[in-house]
Amino acid sequence: MNAIATELKERLESRTATVGIIGLGYVGLPLAVAFAKTGFSVIGVDADPSRAERIGAGVSPIEDVPSADLAALVHGKRLVVKSTVDSLGEADAIVICVPTPLGKSKEPDISFIITAADAVAGILRPGQLVVLESTTFPGTTEEVLLPRFTGAGMAVGEQFFLAFSPERIDPGSRTHDLTRIPKVVGGVTVACSELAQVLYGQIIERIVPVSSPQVAEMVKLFENIFRSVNIALVNELAIMCRRLDMSVWEVIHAASTKPFGFMPFYPGPGIGGHCLPSDPYYLAWKARMAGYEARFIAFADEINRGMPAYVVQLATDALNEQSKPLKGSRVLVLGVAYKAGVGDVRDSPALEIIDALFVRGAHVEYADPHVPHVQVGSRRLTAVAWDKAELARYDLVVVLTGHSEFDARRIVGEARLVVDTRNLTGPLGAHPHVIRL
C-alpha cells in the first residue's frame, strides 16, 4: 500500500473515519446504523427530502431499524442525514445503496447508480474509498463507475479506491443479523479490496474477498437466481402434486430428511420484494449482450409469475365446490407483504391476486398487522384489524403471507372456507374446508 492507502486504512481501523451512505432504504439505513453504533461518524444521504427529514428526526421508516436506536444515534451526532451528495466531500468511505429497478421491457435501469456516481465524481478526492452495494449486472463497477471517477486524472488503487460488495440484507429476520452475514468484497485493485475488507471488517464478522468487482456482482445475482429457480421448481411441483392428489408439503417434509444433496424450498403465491423479481433479468440482459439467451432464468420467472393466477383459480374452484361464484363473494386476504414479518409490499404477489379478485367481482378486504394501508391499482385499501376480524362473515379467507400474528387455530376454527398458500395451517392437519397450495 502507498501512503494514501495506509493513512486511510489506519483511519478505518481506528474508526476515526467518516462513512457516507447514499440511499437510506432497506439496505442503506441498517448499514448506516451499524457503522454509527461501532463508533464511526456517519453521513447518510437520501434524495427524498421527506424521507431524509424523517430519518434526520430519528424516526425509522423500516421495521428492521428501531426508531429508538436511530434516534439515539441522531441525537448523539453519530449519524447526520442530508439530502445531497455534496455533503460527502469529507467522508473517507462512501457506500452507494441506491435502487436498481427494471425498465418497462425488463432491461436493467441503473439510472440511480449513474446519478449517484456522477454526484460522487464531483466531490471525489484523494484518499477516499467508494463501494457500490446496489445489485446490478456484472461489469457495472468497472464499466460505469470507474470511468467517471478516473475522469479527473486520479488513479484507482493509488489515489482513490473502488470496490463492489453486494448487499445481503434479510428483512424481517431475527436470526440473520447484518453483522453476522458474511460479506463478499471485490476490489478493482488489491489495495481497493484490502481497504474495503477493512471497512466492512469493523462491523461484520466474516469478510469473503473475491478476485474482482465483476465476480462479486455475479455472486449476488447467482444467489437470487438460485432462489428464483428453486422456488419455480417447487411451485411447479405444487401444481403437479395437486393434479396427482397428494400434498406437496408432505413431499417436501419427507424429502428434507435426506441428509445430503437436498435443500428444501417452499411453494407460494408468487415471488416479491425488490430482488427476486428483478435480479435474474440483470444477468439475462448481460448474457444477451454477450450473445447467449438465458432460457432457464426466463422459464423459472414464467412459472413464478404465473402463481398469482393459479391462486385465483384455486379460490374460484374452492368457492365453486360450495356452489358459490367468486363474483359477489366476500373474501378476506391475510397478508399483503411479500414475506412474513415485514411491511414491504414491493412486487408482492398479493397485490396482483387482490386486483384479480376485484376484477372478477369479489368483495375483497385484507388484514396485515405490518401494512395499515395499501394501493391496489386505483384502489387504496385500509387493513381490517386482525384481532377484530370476524372470519365467519367471509365466504373465503385466503392466506397469502405467513405472518406470525395470524393464529392458524383461529383461521381453521372460525373461517368457513380457507385457501392457504403458505401452509400456515399445515401443523393442524387436514380439514375439509381448508385448501392448501
Q: What pLDDT does 105 receive?
A: 80
Q: What pLDDT does 413 receive?
A: 96
- From 150, 184, 211, the end of a domain falls on 211
Give the Cα separation of 140 and 220 in Å (integer): 13
Q: What pLDDT does 153 receive?
A: 85
Q: HEC profile for 163-208? A: EECCCCCCCCCCCCCHHHCCEEEEECCHHHHHHHHHHHHCCCCCEE
Give the Cα separation of 216 and 199 in Å (integer): 16
Q: What pLDDT does 151 receive?
A: 82
Give the Cα separation of 64 and 370 in Å (integer): 12
Asked whether residue 37 is assigned to any structural domain, the reply reads: yes
Asked whether residue 220 is assigned to any structural domain, the reply reads: no
Are residues 330 and 201 located together in one domain of the fold?
Answer: no
Are residues 167 and 302 located together in one domain of the fold?
Answer: no
Are residues 204 and 274 located together in one domain of the fold?
Answer: no
- From 211, 246, 281, the end of a domain falls on 211
Are residues 122 and 236 located together in one domain of the fold?
Answer: no
Give the Cα separation of 422 and 399 in Å (integer): 7
Are residues 193 and 245 located together in one domain of the fold?
Answer: no
SS3 382: strand
Written as one letter, the residue type at 51 is R
Are residues 290 and 337 located together in one domain of the fold?
Answer: yes
Are residues 188 and 293 located together in one domain of the fold?
Answer: no
Eight-class DSSP state of 426: G
Give the Cα separation of 437 and 343 in Å (integer): 23
How does pLDDT run along the chain (437 residues), one tens digit per residue?
A: 899 999 999 999 999 999 999 999 999 999 999 999 999 999 999 999 999 999 999 999 988 899 999 999 999 999 999 989 999 999 999 999 999 998 878 889 999 999 999 999 999 999 999 999 999 999 999 999 999 999 878 999 999 999 999 999 887 767 778 899 999 999 999 999 999 999 999 999 999 999 999 999 999 999 999 999 999 999 999 999 999 999 999 999 999 999 999 999 999 999 998 888 888 899 999 999 999 999 999 999 999 999 999 999 999 999 999 999 999 999 999 999 999 999 999 999 999 999 999 999 999 999 999 999 999 999 999 999 999 999 999 999 999 999 999 999 999 999 999 999 999 999 999 999 999 99
Number of domains in the chain: 2
Give the Cα separation of 2 and 132 in Å (integer): 23
| CATH code of residue 130 | 3.40.50.720
Are residues 148 and 271 located together in one domain of the fold?
Answer: no
Eight-class DSSP state of 227: H
SS3 293: coil
DSSP secondary structure letters along 20-84: EEE--STTHHHHHHHHHHTT-EEEEE-S-HHHHHHHHTT--SSTTS-HHHHHHHHHTTSEEEESS
Q: What pLDDT does 106 receive?
A: 82
Q: What pLDDT does 422 receive?
A: 97
Residues 156-182 pLDDT 10s? 999 999 999 999 988 776 777 889 999
Match 405444487 to its residue by C-alpha cell: 238
Give the Cα separation of 297 and 350 in Å (integer): 23
Q: What pLDDT does 124 receive?
A: 96
Residue of 97, 192, 241, 275 with catalytic role = 275
Cβ contact 70:58 at 8 Å: yes
Is 275 marked active-site?
A: yes
Asked whether residue 222 is assigned to any structural domain, the reply reads: no
Asked whether residue 223 is assigned to any structural domain, the reply reads: no
Domain interval for residue 427:
228-436
Reading the block at residue 256, the C-alpha cell is: 428434507
58: left (phi over 0), alpha (psi -120 to 50) or beta: left
Q: Are strands 160-164 and 183-187 parallel, antiparallel or unpaired?
A: antiparallel
Cβ contact 44:24 at 8 Å: yes
Are residues 181 and 139 located together in one domain of the fold?
Answer: yes
Q: What pLDDT does 103 receive?
A: 83
Kindly state the helix (H) or strand (E) to which residue 95 belongs, with its residue range.
strand 93-96
Asked whether residue 217 is assigned to any structural domain, the reply reads: no
Residue 434 β-bridge partners: 418
Cβ-count burial of 94 within 10 angstroms (0-12 exposed, 13-18 middle, 19+ buried)?
buried
Are residues 54 and 203 located together in one domain of the fold?
Answer: yes
Asked whether residue 221 is assigned to any structural domain, the reply reads: no
418: left (phi over 0), alpha (psi -120 to 50) or beta: beta
Are residues 162 and 234 located together in one domain of the fold?
Answer: no
Q: What pLDDT does 152 receive?
A: 75
Give the Cα separation of 366 and 381 in Å (integer): 8
Are residues 363 and 285 located together in one domain of the fold?
Answer: yes
Cβ contact 366:354 at 8 Å: yes
